[in-house]
Structure formats: C-alpha cells, structure tokens
Structure 1
Amino acid sequence: MSSRADAVNRVVLTLLGLLLLAAGGLGLALSLGAFGAWRATYPVLPQRVSTFPDGRPWFWWAVAGVLLLIAVLALLWLFSQLRTHRTSRWDRTTNAREGFTTLHASALTDAVEDEAVSITGVTGVSAHVRDRHGQHVFLRVELADSADIPEVRARLESDVVAHLREGVGDPGLPVTIELRPSGARTPRRTLA
C-alpha cells in the first residue's frame, strides 16, 4: 500500500474515531445527568422525530439510498486497500527508434529469489517490482535463527543487488531489502 493511501487512511479513521468517541461521550454524559437530571430521563428521540417516517414512504427509500451510498464508498475504500503498484512488465526501452525492450517482472524476480535463497542462512525470499514514480525492487528475505545477519546482508548487497542492477543495466536502481530474522520484522533499508 502506498504512503499516500496510508496517510488518507490515518486521517479518515482518526476523524471517524473522534466523531464516534464524541457521540458516545455525549450520550454517556446525558445519561449520567451532566446536563441536568431531566435530560437523563428524556427519550433519545423526541416524539416528533420518532413518528416522522409514519405516512412518508419516501423516507425509507432515502435511508436505503444513503446506506447504499455508504456501502459503495466502503467498497471503493476496500478496493483501494487491495491495489498495489506491482507491475508484471518492465519497459527497458532506451531508444524507441532501435526497438522496444520489455522485461517480464516475474523473470527478474525469480532470478533474484533463486540467487538470494542460495545464501547460507536464508530460508525464504520474496521479490517484486513496483512501478510508482519509477521502478523499485522490493526483496523480503527470511532468515534462519542461526543466520549471520551481517554476512547475509553483505552478500545480498554485493552479489544479489549488484547482479540485479547489472542485469537491468541500471546501476542506480533502488532496491529495498527487508530482513526477517526468526519471524520478526526489522526496519527496511533502501539502497540508493
């Protein structure tokens, strides 16, 4: 998920949480008599409001429309959470007059995974290419408990990343390596 989506999620969920907290706090304060004892026994909805839908069939259609709109917005939000910037093809064309060069991302990631998993102490590797503001390779490496982390990191940087950059012809290709020793997450390190 992108950092922009993360920021939007934090803002929207924070505002929604604060709104619900304020409504709950107000309801609790009213029921405890904070605004006077008569408010504590007062009905939540006045008689006029509770009888408003009677004789107005359009009211329930309007409620259904609003709820449908909320459901559609929630579905759009869910789809935005599932969207990634992963790419399946990588355009490596440098000069369109001489032809086009397209690299399948799965071929690249398979080669990177095969090379990385051959390093002693590495138990699993997952690689993918993202295309957001330019190509970026993400490499998630799972380590055995007995792995020599500095040695694995050095081999990843000197062998795997160097071969990757040489293979695509881009010495400045950004690569993010995430090491996961013993199933625990560690901070990501981006190689510029």
Structure 2
Amino acid sequence: MAGLKIAVFASGQGTNFQALVDSVKEGRLDGSIELLVCDKPQAAVVERAERAGIAAWLFKPKEYASREAYETEILAELERRGIELIVLAGYMRILTPVLVEPYYGRMINIHPSLLPAFPGVNGIGQALEYGVKMTGVTVHYVDGGLDSGPIIAQRAVEVADDDAEETLAPRIHAAEQALLPWVVQQIAHGRVQLDGRKVKLSPLQ
C-alpha cells in the first residue's frame, strides 16, 4: 500500500514525529504525513511541522465541552483528508470511542516500556524505580484502554546499574525513533495482520 496517508498526533517535542518525517524524506517510508494533530499549540512539534511543510490541526481542549466534542471535529478533518493511519507519537490524551472505533486497526501508539509492563505516564521512571534489568519500547494498536492494545513490535533496551532517567531516556528515544518508522513501513506494505490480540507480520513478497 504505497502512499499511505498518515496523521500524527503529538503533544511535545516531536522527536518521533521528526523520525517519521525524515523516513519519508529519505525514502525509507512509503507514505505521506498529511497532518499533525496537536493539543498544545505552543509545542515544539508544531514548529517541526511548519519546517516540514505539513499541515497542523491545533486545538485547546479546555475550549471544548468534552473530549468527544473535539474528537468529532478531528475525525471530520481526518476523513476529509482521507487519512488511512493514525500514529500517536507522544500524544498525552486518552482517546474516546469517537476516534478509536472508526480507526481501530488503523491507529498505533509508541510507548517507552516493554508492555504490558509500566503502562501510562513515565514508563522510563517506572522501570527504573522497579529495578528491571531490561526495558524498551513498544508499538501497539490503540484500543481505548491505557496502553492496552495488541502489540505489533517491541525493542529491548538494557538498563545499567547506574542508570538514571537522564541516561536511560536517550537510549529509549533512539529505540523509539528506529522502531516506529519501521513499523509504519510494514503497515504501508500490508505486512501487519491483526488477529484478535495477536499481531502477525507476513513475509516480504
């Protein structure tokens, strides 16, 4: 499925957004990032979108009566642009069925832990506090729960005895920036098959 139309949802610095932009530019991702959706108009990711010439749909949640209200507007914009895949890349809001249901199986998220361990906020800090020797990153489908959807791919990152968040985080982010574009490329080529809770990766044709 070359030419996959992608929307990226992000709330912060946008390093994973940038990894996707660079992958498209360098020919490693057969798709186009059609839209950035961001709930923080002052976030650094908005500047990244501007530099890349990518349209941004910006909003302030407090200006809406409910999550469903702004998601209804987002859904209309996604449908207008023919978006085929939503990538949550540091989007810090729980989604409602307004978006999850029409895009189930076409919406993925990246999380900085080896799920199902350490879901929710600060997965890196949770892993350090627990004392694990191995953590990593996970790309999974979004099902409306808290980082609970079917797992597509994971990459492990070793935790050193003297690691702190400021030393572990760069290695986690590097793993994210490598894994996320790779997964999107597999989806673009129709290799990712969702079967219940299990995800299968078919061989290259």
Above 0.5 in TM-score?
no
Higher relative contact order (CA closer than 8 Å, sequence separation 6+)? 2
Higher strand proportion: 2
Higher helix proportion: 1
Query: What TM-score, normalized by structure 1, do the two folds share?
Result: 0.22
Structure of greater Rg: 1
